[in-house]
Structure 1
Amino acid sequence: MGLFSPFCGGAEAQTVSTEVRMAQAGPPDVPPPRKRPARLRVTPYYSPDGVYPRYNPGPDAVRECNATYVQEYRPSGTVIVPHMSCYWRRG
């Protein structure tokens, strides 16, 4: 017939207890908060002219560059490539 048939056997009603149960809050199981690591300040590694001095050369600094050709030994053979080295000097 149906699920709610009065002829279903084994269905019994539950009794309601008269005692009141209180929910008790126990100690929290939350770990202590982690400390954040110190923040690092990151500055970009660029400059408008593509030159980034490792120190402040001063307001009247001049960039000196020496360009030469050097030999490089590669698996395909020895090649000659340009090599440039620059430094700052006071102007």
Structure 2
Amino acid sequence: MGLFSQSCGGVQAQTVGAEVQMAQATSPEDAPPPRRRPPPRLRVTPYYSPDGVYPRYNPGPDAVRECNATYVQEFRPSGTVIVPHMHCYWRRG
């Protein structure tokens, strides 16, 4: 610490002058109006359709739903079971 104090021997502290500037708060009338954000846009899609099948695309006005049902084996901890599986798709009618 002694080395630092010797190298800065000719430095003096500055004094505050008679003029002191203070920050002034603006009145509410002078402030600009707050920015309003536009309301968020939410895209609403139906959670389900009345018949239980909701196509991921518009199949058209004359579309027909084709379904194939089969039985498949499923291996479960309690043993092998046979369960029905159904696969459906849309085709033009």
Give 1:37 shift. 8.1
Q: Which runs of 5+ in 1 are unaligned?
A: 1-24
Alignment: residue pair count: 64
Give 2:68's match in structure 1, choosing from 66, 69, 83.
66
TM-score relative to the length of structure 1? 0.59
Give 1 or 2: higher helix fraction: 2
Instruction: Give 1 or 2 for the bigger CA radius of gyration.
Output: 1
RMSD over aligned CA atoms reads 2.4
Once the two structures are superposed, residues 11-70 of structure 1 have per-residue CA deviations (whole angstroms, 9 ceiling, x without a partner) of: xxxxxxxxxxxxxx6158xxx869578423121221111111110000010000000000
State whether structure 2 residue 43 is matched by structure 1 residue 44: no
**What is the match of residue 9 of structure 1?**
none
5+ residue gaps, structure 2, are 1-23, 28-33
**Structure 2 length as normaliser, TM-score?**
0.57
Identity of aligned residues (%): 84
